[in-house]
Amino acid sequence: MEDYNKVIESLGVRYIKAKNLVLHQPFTVRNSYDVGNNLILLHKGHLTFGEESMVVEEGEMLFIPGGRPTRVSYGVDQKNRVITNDDLITNKDKFFHSNDNLDLIGEDEESHSFVSFEAKVFDSVNFFASLDVPAFLISGQPKLANLVIKVVEESIQDLPGRERLINIYTENIVVEVVRYVLRNNMFVEQLATNSTYFKDPRLIDLFNYIKENLGGDLSNKVLSGVANVSEDYVGQYFKMLTNINPQDYIEYQRMERAVFLLRTTKKSIRDIGKEVGYKDTAYFCRRFKMMFGIPAGKMRRRESAMNI
């Protein structure tokens, strides 16, 4: 338990967004994907997920780890309308509208609330993504459900202390999700592995170095000097502890940073690609679309498309 406490204490949590959405028409998104983790609370209606169409009952929550494409169905769709994540981002107002009335949260027949957030170990590694686990159901957790509603309510109102309360509630959400996983003995092997390797100071040095030098040379030769291991061994060492190749991890970090810049700055795609380590803009755009399923330009418009 002490190891888990250390992991939780090391988590840097960042709120991304929260909304109460009402469904216009039923559909399935075959590869629902986001960089942030998403916790979806079903108020009323129908929600299923995964290839086996697991049912989320009213009052239950669906947790989708960041970076994990997941099949999600909203409502009962007699026409079997299946769209891509790209289609959803581009045409979200055709499928949902956002409710900003506090009194109506949870009242519509087909509605859900969600909170999107980051949770990074040592502000470097996506904790839930590092577990490499699928989306999962959370049931019998009224406290957690209430936290989701509180974040949504605060996001709707423009009151003093709004940001502070949202951050506090979001941190509580992360702790409650981790507690739920531990209490139900979920992903035991992955958690045990993580609690071990997150204590390795050489790995922490690598995480920090990669984060601070995304635009520079992050070859295995450079990484070997940071970790003080041989160039031939550094890849094996990193993968042994994290279950991921260091260059794959670096690309994910670069792309995640690119998403942040696309959402929060007006820098050109060319400049963003260079800032995160891609000299060839065309190659950056190809890799971006391969990873996220949509072009970088559409990701830039994601925020306005989501703020319906």
Residues 187-198 have pLDDT tens digits of 877 777 666 666
- What are the pLDDT digits (tens) for 39-65? 999 999 999 999 999 999 999 999 999
pLDDT at 301: 64
Residue 240: Cβ-neighbour burial (10 angstroms; 0-12, 13-18, 19+): exposed
pLDDT at 260: 86
The length of the chain in residues reads: 308
CA distance 234 to 224: 5
CA distance 255 to 35: 9
* DSSP code, position 217: -
Q: What is the mean pLDDT of the chain?
A: 89
pLDDT at 306: 46
Pair of tokens at residue 152: 């949504």
Helices 220-227 and 246-264 pack at an angle, to 10 degrees, of 100
Percentage with pLDDT > 70 across the chain: 93
- What are the pLDDT digits (tens) for 101-144? 999 999 999 999 999 999 987 677 778 887 778 999 999 999 99
CA distance 181 to 144: 13
pLDDT at 85: 87
Between CA 206 and CA 214, with CA 209 as vertex, the angle to 5 degrees is 120
pLDDT at 305: 46
Amino acid sitting at position 191: L
Q: How many helices (H) and strands (E) does the chain have?
A: 15, 12
pLDDT at 135: 95
Residue 229 pLDDT > 60? yes
